[in-house]
Amino acid sequence: MEKKTFPFEIVISGMSGRFPESANLEEFRDNLFNGVDMVTEDDRRWKGEMFEMPHRMGKLKELDKFDAGFFGVHGKQTNTMDPRLRILLEVVHEAVLDAGVNPTSIRGSQTGVFIGAGGEEARFIWSQTEGSSGYITTGCSMSMFANRVSFNFDFKGPSFPIDTACSSGLLALQQAVLAMRGGLCDAAIVASVHTCIEPETTLQ
């Protein structure tokens, strides 16, 4: 089979992220270089005496914090929004800035959004605690993750989530490359996000 060649290169121009004990990539880098153990043993997430629960885990900082007004998200929507979706909106904005681009300058552009994610813990939790709400589906359904990013930033390219378990992020990157090479979009947002907010998830 003849190998196809393409007339242009694809580069990663901006990055952002959230990691255990690290609010951004710079803090994550410093923690790695300084030998900081980012997997800790405490009860910030759930009580350590819970039966069979792992005692050590990586925890994100300020998972409950989100500037809803900045992203134009209604307060009722925010209360039932999956924390992963909040994180996605934040890191996409930061990654675009990291690329040296004003987010408003690419509104309406043919930018694709490819999100690796899996599970819907928040949807289950909120449906049990919040009762009936017209915001749970749009705030917690994994199918909305990429669409919400596209909506907020007014991106017009392909927009969909990918769930292949541990390889979701890698496949999202592959799909973004194929979409750009195929002319479906001029640029792409690629992200992968995962959190464990339900104790039982850590037993799987």
pLDDT by residue, tens only, the chain of 204 residues: 566 666 778 999 999 999 999 999 999 999 999 999 999 887 777 666 666 777 788 889 888 899 999 999 988 788 788 889 999 999 999 999 999 999 999 999 999 999 998 776 655 565 555 555 666 667 667 888 899 999 999 999 999 999 998 899 999 999 999 999 999 999 999 999 988 877 666 666
CA-CA-CA-CA torsion sign (100, 153, 180, 146)? positive
| Backbone torsions φ then ψ of 99, nearest 5 degrees | -80, -5
In the chain the domains, ranked by start, together with CATH numbers, are 79-204 (3.40.47.10)
By the 8 A CB rule, do 145 and 88 touch? Answer: yes
Distances (CA, A) of 141 to 56, 104, 190: 29, 27, 18
